[in-house]
Structure 1
């Protein structure tokens, strides 16, 4: 089945890279910040691409859109990120039409996540649609598709326990810290940056450790103060970073910068320091590991921490997949209907024109001609005829195109897409 095409020559493609084949360093190269996403959408619009979603998270960067060839989308991604076409060809993937639709359902429902049942991704799907809508680069197909994926995600969350128990990178971070650091409530913890996973980790640390001396530093102090108030953190100036690192037992880095913000040159401490880098791209230079007292743990290592919660979640996978498949099938049926809707509409219009002419002719010939009854009977016949055609087109999905062409030819229809 061909997906609903915006133009005769375009298909619906997904191009992307994810944690499955790309490590953190490569994912960092292909990641897009807000400015990159906006520039990409503007360029796509100028290039005549009608309908595009851009998703960039710590685990994946993906473009979903209509193009004449997937290379158009690959070029857009490489132009606006630090990734190259050669690298993409090594680790990237391309899906088309039905496969592309299925992939977005898997991603949006958390069934393709690094941690099964992680529902963070659905808010990214929503946000990517909002961004595209602001740029006027969406269409009815994308809107309906995103709504269907959101509906599937909600149902899986409500009808299964696949997201039960606390399993996320933030939770894994706290688990790791608790298992490695004794007397955590007495330790000095420093959060550098205001990235979402870092914030969630700190919130969990406050909850689980009763630690009341967690320090937050961010380049923008106003942003730091806003978050600090929420999580009961102390805020220090960016200029104090080196001094605060010296005092710390644990450093959590979540700056969202495109290049490393912490290197061994910043670290002047002889006591043991655990550094958690919760950023994509990596924000901690690997050279910190040259220091004997420093342990560096990256997001990817934390994502691999599996526990009983995760094993328990796998039991609910079949039910979650069944719900996803049901919503996806409904969406694809709607898609089929959209393909022949213009033909049925044009057929109805043609039959109505024939009916009006015939009633007009009979009115002149027959005395006491009953217009009302003639309208009722002929409209019902037209409805029955068009329903028969619609059912035929619905049931013959393998050769719908040929049937549409035949109906158009027989009735000399003028259809509008």
Structure 2
């Protein structure tokens, strides 16, 4: 497969790490919050990188962008996070040009998710593009690529059952609670953190546990109150965290902090407590495991929960892949056309100038010269000639850059592209 890129000097790269090779601790070192993403985009602009998109979720951190060498992107990421280049290289992947495009399609459509068909990632791609645009780092290539991935994702949702059934990290956590806790409707459940995973977990808990003893705590009380209002739940202040943990039978932690928010000191070890940590980086200290009555379960363990829903989802993978191939093919066609459109347009202009001059000459020279017929024939010939050139440039067997250069030289074309 030939390389697809915008400029002769830069290639399109995807660099990143995911749950496949990097555990939660390593992923935590490379996770990016919004200010960090903004900083990377600003830095990339300074060093002349043309187009960059950053995404960071509990399962992956990735940069997609144009560079002379992928190390430029890797360095941007490592400079902004707690991880080193050496640590990154142990677990990382680097994709170039066509492979990088394919990777984004796979990620954005849930085929690369820790739980197959989990579509949370597409909103991260949208958010990543929005931030890139805000920093003037979203070129036409990235815009078209993101839109194509979003289109593929929508089609897969509508035309397959890849995301059917309630399977997500939030559902997996509730399933774990239901499978491992007796008499769930009478237990005290405390949810700390009301981000996206926290909200979804809360919804699933209310739906499946028939429990009215659920308490929410969030650093920003208003956010917790918004969610609590929907489900008639109790909200407590952040300052009450320790007291509420001591009352709880189940603690679900879904905060977005960069450092642990729940430590051994906050926990009263005299009664059993199940702690689920749904955060990356981990937001519950490992020393909690030292307490006899406490069971600590992290997101990575929950994500391994497979059920009939997941088995059923796998049946739809070939159909999803076929949709991706179709949308990706259209994108690559656009990309190739975009690359040589200025030359083809300039060639058409040149041939039209020749046509006009020749028809003028023949009209003056030959009395009764049929100008209308001559226009029709000439236009058809020009159409056929430009089509021949376009087909030549689309062929996989030719070096497009060399051919474009030759056409410009032979016809002495002046390009008026952006």
Normalising by the smaller structure, the TM-score range is: over 0.9
Contact 2:392 2:398 in 1 (8 A): no
Structure 1 stretch displaced more, 363-372 or 404-413: 363-372
1:2 aligns with 2:3: yes
Query: Who is 1:144 aligned against?
Result: 144
Query: Who is 2:103 aligned against?
Result: 103
Q: CA deviation at 1:134?
A: 1.6
- Residue by residue over 1:30-74, the C-alpha shift from the partner in whole angstroms, topping out at 9 and shown as x without a partner, is 000011111111111122212111110110000000111111111
Query: Who is 2:26 aligned against?
Result: 26
1:412 aligns with 2:412: yes
Gaps of 5+ in 1: none
1:394 aligns with 2:394: yes
Q: CA deviation at 1:248?
A: 0.3
TM-score (ref. length: structure 1)? 0.96
Query: Who is 2:325 aligned against?
Result: 325
Secondary structure in 1 matching 2:367:
coil
Query: Who is 2:360 aligned against?
Result: 360
Query: What RMSD, in angstroms, separates the aligned Cα atoms of the two structures?
Result: 1.5
Query: Who is 2:267 aligned against?
Result: 267
Secondary structure in 1 matching 2:312:
helix
Q: CA deviation at 1:137?
A: 0.9
Query: Who is 2:378 aligned against?
Result: 378
Query: Who is 2:130 aligned against?
Result: 130
Alignment of 1:9-408 (within 5 A): 9-408=9-408
In structure 2, relative to structure 1, the CA distance for the partners of 1:361 and 1:396 (3 Å cut) is: farther
Find the aligned partners of 2:261 and 2:178 in 1 and give their Cα distance. Answer: 25
Contact 1:4 1:338 in 2 (8 A): no
Contact 2:269 2:292 in 1 (8 A): no
Contact 2:269 2:294 in 1 (8 A): no
Query: What number of residue pairs does the alignment pair up?
Result: 416
Find the aligned partners of 2:146 and 2:14 in 1 and give their Cα distance. Answer: 14
Find the aligned partners of 1:232 and 1:56 in 2 and give their Cα distance. Answer: 32
Contact 1:336 1:397 in 2 (8 A): no
Find the aligned partners of 1:278 and 1:233 in 2 and give their Cα distance. Answer: 20
Find the aligned partners of 2:345 and 2:165 in 1 and give their Cα distance. Answer: 51
Structure 1 stretch displaced more, 241-250 or 265-274: 265-274
TM-score (ref. length: structure 2)? 0.96
Structure 1 stretch displaced more, 332-341 or 130-139: 332-341
Structure 1 stretch displaced more, 331-340 or 290-299: 331-340
Secondary structure in 1 matching 2:295:
strand
Q: CA deviation at 1:409?
A: 2.4
Secondary structure in 1 matching 2:55:
strand
Find the aligned partners of 1:197 and 1:10 in 2 and give their Cα distance. Answer: 38
Find the aligned partners of 1:307 and 1:398 in 2 and give their Cα distance. Answer: 49
Find the aligned partners of 1:56 and 1:397 in 2 and give their Cα distance. Answer: 38
Find the aligned partners of 1:144 and 1:231 in 2 and give their Cα distance. Answer: 40
Structure 1 stretch displaced more, 362-371 or 52-61: 362-371
Q: CA deviation at 1:370?
A: 4.9
Contact 1:192 1:255 in 2 (8 A): yes
Contact 2:189 2:214 in 1 (8 A): yes
Find the aligned partners of 1:245 and 1:269 in 2 and give their Cα distance. Answer: 11
Contact 1:255 1:283 in 2 (8 A): yes
Secondary structure in 2 matching 1:136:
coil
Find the aligned partners of 2:227 and 2:156 in 1 and give their Cα distance. Answer: 31
Q: CA deviation at 1:398?
A: 4.0
Structure 1 stretch displaced more, 231-240 or 354-363: 354-363
Contact 1:252 1:276 in 2 (8 A): yes
Structure 1 stretch displaced more, 18-27 or 194-203: 194-203
Find the aligned partners of 1:312 and 1:42 in 2 and give their Cα distance. Answer: 44
